[in-house]
Structure 1
Amino acid sequence: MFEISDETVRLINKTCKGKKNLKLTVGYLTNSQCVIKVYNESGEIDSSKKYHYEIGSITKTFTVSLLSKYISENKLTPNDSIQKYIKELKKDTYYPTLLRLATHSSGYSGSLPLYKREYFKIILGLIFGGSDLNKNNPLHMDFNKMKMLIESNKLKEVDYSWKYSNFGISLIGYVLGMVSPKGYWTL
């Protein structure tokens, strides 16, 4: 079985040392077997525990790679609307395609799932000590909030100019979880 080299482990430990709350997950495939190692500031930790990561940001590479894989396997097509996979959305309404989400040309704001006023309130709360993101994280998303955000952002069937959107990538992650029999978090 393949193991991470001592030099790589040394570099990982050096990178993680002294960084509280950091969890670095390293995954690799060898002979069709997936191996996952998780590190924190003290070194390797239990990789059998479940750790959740926000869909977006660091997971974009994984998410879009998986999207490409599913497209090549004909499990979905880039021009599919998200409505094809999120059946609970209102009918007779335009929703962006996977391609527009992946290329950040869907029209979704870069600030979603929050609006600028909400970001401002969070920042003020953190500055003045009136907010605890560990207890009330407004970025946590459930299905109903996701559906409400999709339906309340009325988009047109046009190519919008490029606008970075974690929300758009999270929708791709949701669709991939719907297509996979395992769901996104177990992929």
Structure 2
Amino acid sequence: MTSITLKIILVAIFLTLASMCFNTLKAQGNLQGKIENDKIAILLEENLAFFPNKTEISLALINGKQSEFFGVIRKNDTLQIETNQNAIFEIGSITKVFTSTLFSELVIEKKLSLNDHVLDLLPFQLESPSKEQTSITLKMLANHTSGLPSLPQNIMPLIALDESDPYRSYTSDKLYEYLKTDFKTKTAAGKKSVYSNLGTGLLGHLLTLKTKKSYEELLQEKIFKPLGMNNSTTILKQIPETNLVKGLDPQGQVTSNWNFDALEGAGAIKSSVTDLEKFARKHMENSTVYNLTQKVTHIENKQVSLGLGWHIISQGDQEILFHNGGTGGYTSCMLINKRTQKSVIMLTNISAFHPKSQSIDSLCFKILNLIN
């Protein structure tokens, strides 16, 4: 399955990274006996050994009513335990699940429906809209079947101007310009899953238009405050500097945080594992809103289906909710098995452009299988 992180937006810019030599020395493992499950400790030692110094991960493991929090940091070429459950990281595309949860809230409140059409919610009308344009629904934005490209074409010059903070200058005016002049689908709407940051970003924007509230206000009102997620926000300046883990580039140097404007629903949230643990647990309850996001809306193949926001991975008789995220300085992963009441949440300051960043997903799946 194609990685569903935000890294795809800068592939063209960062192709040169593939030819660079990352001569990070292997870190000395020092975790066994300090983490309750030695098999998990060994996995972490094996998988984190070649990331640069200052690499930091924060983990939450849910097993029924029990939750375990711990972190690991690489200092002086040694892996060490770090107490960082309240440390804040960029969660990248895991934000998309929150956008879909807000959408589900409004559906349950009967303020929107799954099959409302995108064009009906825009603050302007298109001249001579095509059949594909008129057929795109909000559900298609949430489950990546709209056929829209990963990104609008008119964001590319902005990325070239500021590759370290690529979404910052993409305003609603730019979004509307794209929709009026270059709005087209890559595939037929509703037929195939094509991962789209544009689609989910547009969904988040439409929710703000419908409610006349900002994306941050919606998150605080509908999710963060009800769940007690006090470390979570989309607004970087609201985070105390001492609470924010600094993101690293592939060479281990501190890199810029990403700020979002019109497409904030695609990746703007900053959070901690203590907060995301609360969000994960809500999915294990019998909640009408959270059940709706987990309902299959599109079947990709025998192993992968789509809910609203979530990828649903079939492993035998088990179904696992999955999403990951990646920005210039961070990589994240979240897994939930509602049936077994187990979950893995991992936040890291590993760049999505590091050649080994995709190992975080497989590491999380392996850890999920070791929770006992």
**Do the structures match in fold with TM over 0.5?**
yes
Amino acid at match of 1:153: F
Provide Cα deviations, 1:47-81, integer angstroms capped at 9, x if missing partner.
xxxxxx79x71211111011111101110111111
- Give me the whole-angstrom Cα distance separating, in 1, the residues matched to 2:184 and 2:117: 14
Q: 1:114: Cα distance to partner?
A: 4.0
Report the CA distance shift for 1:9/1:185 in structure 2 as closer, same or farther (over 3 A). Answer: farther
The within-5 A match list for 1:129-140 is 132-134=162-164, 137=166, 140=169
- 2:192 is matched with 161
- Give me the whole-angstrom Cα distance separating, in 1, the residues matched to 2:121 and 2:190: 21
Q: 1:145: Cα distance to partner?
A: 1.1
The worse-fitting range, judged by mean Cα deviation, of 97-106 and 157-166 is 157-166
Q: Which has the higher relative contact order, 1 or 2, with Cα contacts under 8 A spaced 6 or more apart?
A: 2
Q: Going by fraction, where is strand more abundant, 1 or 2?
A: 2
Q: Check if 1:102 corresponds to 2:102.
A: no
- Give me the whole-angstrom Cα distance separating, in 1, the residues matched to 2:179 and 2:114: 19
Provide Cα deviations, 1:118-171, integer angstroms capped at 9, x if missing partner.
49x96xx7xxxxx65347x36632112111222312349742421000110011
Identity of aligned residues (%): 27
Task: Provide the alpha-carbon RMSD of the alignment.
Answer: 3.8
The within-5 A match list for 1:51-130 is 57-93=93-129, 94-95=133-134, 96-110=136-150, 112-114=151-153, 118=156
- Give me the whole-angstrom Cα distance separating, in 1, the residues matched to 2:86 and 2:175: 29
Which structure's CA Rg is the greater one?
2
The within-5 A match list for 1:12-31 is 14=71
**TM-score normalised by L of structure 1:** 0.57
Amino acid at match of 2:174: K
Gaps of 5+ in 2: 1-66, 76-84, 219-372
Whether the aligned pair in 2 keeps the contact of 1:83 and 1:89 (CA below 8 Å) is yes
- Give me the whole-angstrom Cα distance separating, in 2, the residues matched to 1:88 and 1:15: 50
Q: Check if 1:184 corresponds to 2:215.
A: yes
- Give me the whole-angstrom Cα distance separating, in 2, the residues matched to 1:154 and 1:89: 15
Provide Cα deviations, 1:64-123, integer angstroms capped at 9, x if missing partner.
01111110111011111122221224154234210111121111112x13479x49x96x
Amino acid at match of 2:190: D
- Give me the whole-angstrom Cα distance separating, in 2, the residues matched to 1:16 and 1:76: 44
Aligned pairs, number: 138
**TM-score normalised by L of structure 2:** 0.31
- 1:147 is matched with 176
- Give me the whole-angstrom Cα distance separating, in 2, the residues matched to 1:17 and 1:182: 41
